[in-house]
Structure 1
Amino acid sequence: MLEFEALWVLLLLPLPLLWLLLPAQPVASLTRLKVPLAVVHQADDDNPAVARRRLPAWLKWLGWALLLAALARPVWVGDPVSLPDSRREMMLILDLSGSMQETDMEYGGRPSDRLTAAKGVLFDFIKARQGDRLGLILFADHAYVQAPLSYDLDTIATLMSEAELGLVGNRTAIGEAIALATKQLVGRKSQKKVAVLLTDGRNTAGGIEPDDAIAAAREKGVTFYAIGFGSDYQIKRTPLGNIKVPNGDPPDEAQLARLADATGGRFFRAKDADQLEDIYKELNQLEPLEDNTQTLRPRTDIFYWPLALLLLLSVALALWRTR
């Protein structure tokens, strides 16, 4: 849609008509030969040089109109574009410790290690959070911000999918992960600060005790949802086939429950990929997307179009009159 930022300029379009209404300037009487005006015009018309110099009235009006159109600052207003206006910011925390390579899961109809199953479910969760600002923390020996809070969910999903075992060690620094997520969310303007922690073990590394990190998260008003992931059994290959043996290093459910209770979140236990998928679906219900979408209509200046036409017209007339 076309709009003019200085529409009042177009009111000057009839201004040249006022010049025609002005009284003729008195001319000092001079002795001159009286020749009928029609004869003068006829003579001018018969003179090609004079005829070329005389501009048609419509060209003068066209030039004047183009000049005013440029001065009126025309803009093209595009279709409304939705802008995300979420009041929710969420840090996703993913365990990359060595135990995440245990192949006690089934994902996509095939046997899978824990990390592959977790990444597949988490990928779908990220894609469903359009409008939220998400971030990603990976942890093992230490915790690292893999992606800061951003609306660019495609990039976050890609970075999460590219996470590999051993990238940041093999142990489990849960305390550091909690503290780092809290630090990333503190000071943000969003009304709701949420972190989702997924781990299959207990704190075995890092310089921050989980209970200290939990106390800080509660003080700063960050809500944590904690997910303990992993089967009760490990699958061991033997000459006689695969057998199930009890998992000797399950998630620290008591500690994860304390984290959730202290911060107003919830603790979940997922023993397979299907349960994990159900948990993330439930998180979508617990932390629904807010419909606060704002719209913006992009505006593009186009004053240079009438200005360019005026310049081209001027050049063309100059060339025509000098032929």
Structure 2
Amino acid sequence: MLEFVHPWAFLLLLAPVLIYWFVPSHRESRDSLQVPYFERLVALSGETPRAGASIRRRLVIQAVAGLLGLCLLVAALARPEWVGDPVKQEKTARDLMLAVDLSGSMEATDFSDAAGEKVDRLTVAKDVLEEFVAGRKGDRLGLIVFGSAAYMQAPFTDDHETWLNLLDESIVNMAGPSTALGDAIGLSISHFRQSQTENRVLIVLTDGNDTGSKVPPLDAAKVAKVEGVTIYTVAVGDPTTVGEDALDMETLEAVAKTTGGRSFVANDREALSDTYRLIDELEPASYDSLSYRPRKGMFHVPLAAFALLYIMTMPIFVLASRRRRRVAHD
């Protein structure tokens, strides 16, 4: 569809009419032929001397070319644009941060993979997260790994393949042997503050209790609530374990409840997979739809047509002018 950015420019098409009505005609004085017996000629002819004028009539092609040229220039000034069909784009409406515990206890081989073979907890967590991420095409994903300290492994990105590669490169004890859960929540909050998305979710996967955070998990959760971050905690392992490796379910549940999220326990691969499936249902992929119509400037078309008209008609005008002079001299 053709649209004009400056449609008011077409008012200039009235300019020739206004000039014809309100602007006086151009007059050019020329000396007439002088003869010594002018008065005698007047007496013999019986005519009264008076001022005269001659109007040079334009050729039809000159009038048509002039009018067409004006229309083309005005059309170019009106800035025509070709407006295409509406294009709909879907933009992510959620930033999803996943925090993965890499403390020493994550190498415990009390989980089984899809083939039934015993593997460590981190390996199973990676497999389940890969399945989970496959259904999050509408989300920007971030990855935090934590142990004795928390580190940003991947900032928010739409490139899920790169995100999965960075997750796969994570190994146990890479961030230290302890569990800094509160620091991981705090690090995620600092990155959420740089996000323009209002729908913010943090999923924390851990198999222990907080043993090395500078910020207590509950205090960090209260800040997350103020920042609009919903936290889901996933406890991996046996909740009946005691000692340093015991799951602090009370803290994990409190963190999730404070932010409006939920807490889950997964003591095998199937339970872990079901947990992330449930989180997927609680936080379905969200999109913002954007629609726009592509525009392409077309002002060069009437300009090119005007240039072509000028090139084609100028030789005709020159030849016509020479022919008139030749006829006048003859």
TM-score, structure 1 as length reference = 0.69
Whether the 8 Å CA contact 2:147–2:179 is kept in 1: the answer is yes
Q: Does residue 90 in structure 1 map to residue 96 in structure 2?
A: yes
Aligned-partner SS, 2:148: coil
Letter in 1 for 2:79: R
Q: Does residue 183 in structure 1 map to residue 190 in structure 2?
A: yes
CA shift, 1:60, in A, is 4.2
Letter in 2 for 1:278: D
Cα 1:211/1:23, change in 2 over 3 Å? closer
**Equivalent position to 1:260, from 229, 235, 256:** 256
* Distance in 1 (alpha carbons) for counterparts of 2:269 and 2:64: 77
- Correspondence for 2:71: 65
* Distance in 2 (alpha carbons) for counterparts of 1:313 and 1:99: 83
Aligned-partner SS, 2:245: coil
**Equivalent position to 2:234, from 213, 222, 227:** 227
Whether the 8 Å CA contact 1:95–1:138 is kept in 2: the answer is yes
Whether the 8 Å CA contact 1:91–1:194 is kept in 2: the answer is yes
Q: How many equivalent pairs are there?
A: 294
Letter in 1 for 2:102: L
Q: Deviations over 1:222-241 (max 9, x none)?
A: 321100124789xxxxxxxx
Q: Does residue 9 in structure 1 map to residue 5 in structure 2?
A: no
Cα 1:276/1:181, change in 2 over 3 Å? same
Aligned-partner SS, 2:182: helix
Q: Deviations over 1:264-319 (max 9, x none)?
A: 22111122333222222211222234565332334343434444554566578789
- Correspondence for 2:32: 31
In the TM superposition, what are the counterparts of 1:274-285 in structure 2 within 5 Å?
274-285=270-281
Cα 1:19/1:217, change in 2 over 3 Å? closer
* Distance in 1 (alpha carbons) for counterparts of 2:70 and 2:123: 69
CA shift, 1:153, in A, is 4.8
Aligned-partner SS, 2:210: coil
Letter in 1 for 2:299: F
* Distance in 1 (alpha carbons) for counterparts of 2:174 and 2:309: 66
Q: Deviations over 1:3-53 (max 9, x none)?
A: 2111222343464466677775455575369xxx9xx99xxx9xxxxxxxx
Whether the 8 Å CA contact 2:239–2:265 is kept in 1: the answer is no
CA shift, 1:197, in A, is 0.6
Cα 1:317/1:148, change in 2 over 3 Å? farther
Greater mean deviation of Cα atoms: 281-290 or 266-275: 281-290
Q: Deviations over 1:107-135 (max 9, x none)?
A: 45464543333233323433433444443
Aligned-partner SS, 1:293: strand
Aligned-partner SS, 1:84: strand
- Correspondence for 2:42: none
Cα 1:302/1:259, change in 2 over 3 Å? same
CA shift, 1:96, in A, is 2.6
Aligned-partner SS, 1:257: helix
Q: CA RMSD in A?
A: 4.3
Aligned-partner SS, 1:255: helix
In the TM superposition, what are the counterparts of 1:197-212 in structure 2 within 5 Å?
197-212=204-219
- Correspondence for 2:106: 100
Letter in 1 for 2:129: L
Greater mean deviation of Cα atoms: 290-299 or 195-204: 290-299
**Equivalent position to 1:141, from 138, 141, 148:** 148
Could you tell me which runs of 5 or more consecutive residues in structure 1 were left unpaired when the two chains were aligned: 46-53, 234-245
Could you tell me which runs of 5 or more consecutive residues in structure 2 were left unpaired when the two chains were aligned: 35-53, 319-330
Q: Does residue 196 in structure 1 map to residue 197 in structure 2?
A: no
Letter in 1 for 2:235: G
- Correspondence for 1:240: none
Q: Does residue 77 in structure 1 map to residue 78 in structure 2?
A: no
CA shift, 1:218, in A, is 4.7
- Correspondence for 1:154: 160
Cα 1:306/1:136, change in 2 over 3 Å? farther
Q: Deviations over 1:248-273 (max 9, x none)?
A: 93543333222223332211112233
Cα 1:179/1:3, change in 2 over 3 Å? same
**Equivalent position to 1:288, from 259, 267, 284:** 284
